[in-house]
Amino acid sequence: MQTLAGRTCVIAGGSAGDGIDTVKELCRAGMNVVMATHQAKKAQALAEEINGLGFAGKCEAVGAAEAGPAEEDERTYRYIAGKYGSVDVIISNTGDTGTAKGMEELRGDELMKEVEHLVAGAFKMAVAALPYLRESRAPRIILMSSVEGVYGGRTGSFANAVAKGAVHALALNMAARLAEESITVNCIAKGAIPRVEGIRPGNAEPSAFIPYIPMGRLGTAQDLAQAVCYLASEEAGYVTGQTLCVSGGLELGGC
């Protein structure tokens, strides 16, 4: 059993791509989900769709500034805690497929731009939420990395893999520092999970990954959603600093 009902999650990257199924599954299980997003129109439409399904958990979209001050994050979390009673789970699913430039073509500033985009956003989101997570009975932080970011690889974007590796390091170090407060921090390393709207994993054709996947198939947004539900649950309270590969064994096949 996964206990999610009556708790509140804030997710970045939930209004598009593989995040949509995650938001739906959390709401289906009774969790209130607030999408922090720059895509207000799309997120609002998704929230209305989910709320129309009659799930026990409610869905809402709130705006997020690209580089807003810390006070803005504080107001957002204060609003969420006031409306729903708690802030229990933080999920950073922000990402992109990265530049297709190879290692020798890539400029240092281009690499650092990718790192800044993925790491700084997850860090800022998690730190701003800490005062509220400390009040939760089951506080969780979940960050999204990739198989190539954790284990290395050759198939996807070099810049994206390096940046995702930095996200993985962020999760490990936050976990070590927050464990004494019973705030769990875990990382999901995504394999080849195609996003919607024609976005391809790592700038490669999805079929390019299949020879390296022992299971012989691409992942789905549902595969990811179920993994998130477990790490967000109250039952996962003794799991921290871990990387859960949702990959069909891609890291075993030498991607």
Longest dimension (CA), the chain: 52
The CA-CA-CA angle for residues 130, 134, 139, to 5°, reads 90
Average pLDDT value over all residues in the chain: 88
The number of beta carbons lying within 10 Å of the beta carbon of residue 214 is 11
pTM of this structure:
0.91
Residue 1 has pLDDT above 70, yes or no: no
pLDDT of residue 200: 43
pLDDT of residue 101: 82
pLDDT of residue 185: 98
Q: Could you report the per-residue pLDDT of 27-37, keeping only the tens digit for each? A: 999 999 999 98
Residue with tokens 């729903």: 84
Going by pLDDT thresholds of 50, 70 and 90, the confidence category of residue 97 is low
* Sign of the four-CA dihedral 198, 96, 86, 185: positive
* CA pair distance 174, 101, nearest whole angstrom: 31
Q: Beta strand pairing status for 32-37 and 8-12?
A: parallel
pLDDT of residue 252: 84
Q: Could you report the per-residue pLDDT of 166-225, keeping only the tens digit for each? A: 999 999 999 999 999 999 999 999 988 876 443 344 456 667 788 888 999 999 999 999
Q: Which residue has the higher pLDDT, 37 or 155?
A: 37
Cα dist from 88 to 156, 185, 229, 231, whole Å: 33, 12, 13, 12
The number of beta carbons lying within 10 Å of the beta carbon of residue 37 is 24
Length of the chain, in residues: 255
Residue 23 has pLDDT above 60, yes or no: yes
Residue 43 has pLDDT above 60, yes or no: yes
pLDDT of residue 204: 60
Residue with tokens 């949702």: 246
* CA pair distance 134, 136, nearest whole angstrom: 6
pLDDT of residue 205: 67
pLDDT of residue 201: 43
Rounded to 10 degrees, what is the CA torsion of 190, 196, 201, 207? 110
Going by pLDDT thresholds of 50, 70 and 90, the confidence category of residue 250 is confident
Q: Could you report the per-residue pLDDT of 232-247, keeping only the tens digit for each? A: 999 999 999 999 999 9
238 DSSP 8-state letter: T
Q: Could you report the per-residue pLDDT of 120-144, keeping only the tens digit for each? A: 999 999 999 999 999 999 999 999 9
